[in-house]
Amino acid sequence: MTRFDTVGEDAVVTAETGGYVGRITLDRPEAMNTFSTELATDLDAALRAHESDDEVRAIVIDGSGDAFSAGIDLTEHAERDGGDAYEEWVASMEEPFATIAGMGTPVIAAAHGHAAANGLGLVAACDLAVAADGTMFGATAPKVGLFCMGPAVPLMDAVVRKRCLELLLTGELIDADTALEWGLINATAPAGEHVDAAMEYAETIASKSPTAIQRGKRAYYEMEGMDYAEALEYSNEQFAGLCTTADAEAGIEAFLGGEPLDADEWSDI
């Protein structure tokens, strides 16, 4: 592999090519490869550098250290003030999703450890993805008073389209295990315990920020009807709006302090 010289020496991603394949590694292992503004900008530059190299026919994105990525770097949140500043900030974080969608070169995620929030979004935004055994995925933002607005955009059509068409076109019945495998349902439960299992989901949702959950759910359905670029722009506006809520202020501070908020500590909607 040779290093891409268009990606700076002090970048927080590394970018190399070997033969026809490029490899981009998120390289902030001390910060779980969280998306700082710098990491997002460097990732975007590395993607563009590969795309403009005719030799590169496919790209792999992985992460150094123990995690693929734990999402946006929440320590940057406090450095901003006001909706516009947050919107500009989050727009840079989602730029690689738009870049991947606009590229001809296929991009493959290779995840390990955790792929959370924007890290989950990056996995979904890639054309293909593989994961090491034991990798955990999550749209974890509501536990800090935020919502994975941008990651929702690539996520919403990454999961279901082929399974959906199979049901619609064949007209056949599928059993609960198949429905689980396909992602039509979230869990199965022993006979008679399905309501308890559903209640467990409800309690888990109820333990997160109600403001983030309600705004997030509404935004999700709004974005479903939009094209990709429009949805990413809308997601940035919505995320910036969430950044200034009392729940985000308190939730992020509590998370970074090592004591995440409980169900009864969030603000009323």
Ligand X SMILES: C/C=C/C(=O)SCCNC(=O)CCNC(=O)[C@H](O)C(C)(C)COP(=O)(O)OP(=O)(O)OC[C@H]1O[C@@H](n2cnc3c(N)ncnc32)[C@H](O)[C@@H]1OP(=O)(O)O
258 contributes a contact to ligand X by CB under 6 A: yes
Question: Which residues touch 168 (CB under 8 Å, ≥6 apart)?
Answer: none
141 contributes a contact to ligand X by CB under 6 A: yes
Question: Residue 24 pairs with which residues in a beta bridge?
Answer: 15, 61
26 contributes a contact to ligand X by CB under 6 A: no
Give 22 or 151: the residue with its C-beta nearer to ligand X.
151
Give 196 or 224: the residue with its C-beta nearer to ligand X.
224
216 contributes a contact to ligand X by CB under 6 A: no
Contact by Cβ (8 Å): 250, 262: no
Question: Residue 26 pairs with which residues in a beta bridge?
Answer: 13, 63
209 contributes a contact to ligand X by CB under 6 A: no
Work out how close the CB of 75 gets to ligand X at its nearest, in angstroms, rounded to a whole number: 5
Give 32 or 49: the residue with its C-beta nearer to ligand X.
32
Contact by Cβ (8 Å): 89, 146: no
Question: Residue 137 pairs with which residues in a beta bridge?
Answer: 115
Per-residue tokens: 125: 């935004």
Question: Which residues touch 28 (CB under 8 Å, ≥6 apart)?
Answer: 12, 34, 36, 39, 64, 65
Give 126 or 146: the residue with its C-beta nearer to ligand X.
146
The sign of the dihedral angle between the CA atoms of 140, 145, 148, 150 is negative
Our measurement of the distance from residue 74's CA atom to the centroid of its chain's CA atoms, rounded to an integer in Å, reads: 14
- 139 vs 124: CA distance, rounded Å: 11
Using the contact rule CB under 6 A, the part of the chain among 43-51, 137-145, 177-185, 216-224 near ligand X is: 137-145
212 contributes a contact to ligand X by CB under 6 A: no
- 47 vs 59: CA distance, rounded Å: 8
154 contributes a contact to ligand X by CB under 6 A: no
The sign of the dihedral angle between the CA atoms of 181, 187, 188, 190 is positive
150 contributes a contact to ligand X by CB under 6 A: yes
Give 15 or 152: the residue with its C-beta nearer to ligand X.
152
Q: How many residues does the chain have?
A: 269
149 contributes a contact to ligand X by CB under 6 A: yes
134 contributes a contact to ligand X by CB under 6 A: no
How many chain residues interact with ligand X (CB under 6 A)? 24
Give 182 or 255: the residue with its C-beta nearer to ligand X.
255
Q: How far is CA 32 from CA 12, 13, 128, in A?
A: 12, 13, 22
Using the contact rule CB under 6 A, the part of the chain among 42-50, 56-64, 73-81, 183-191 near ligand X is: 73-81
43 contributes a contact to ligand X by CB under 6 A: no
Using the contact rule CB under 6 A, the part of the chain among 36-44, 144-152, 169-177, 196-204 near ligand X is: 144-152
256 contributes a contact to ligand X by CB under 6 A: yes
User: Site residues (CB under 6 A) for ligand X?
Assistant: 32, 34, 70-75, 90, 114, 116-118, 140-141, 144, 146, 148-151, 239, 256, 258
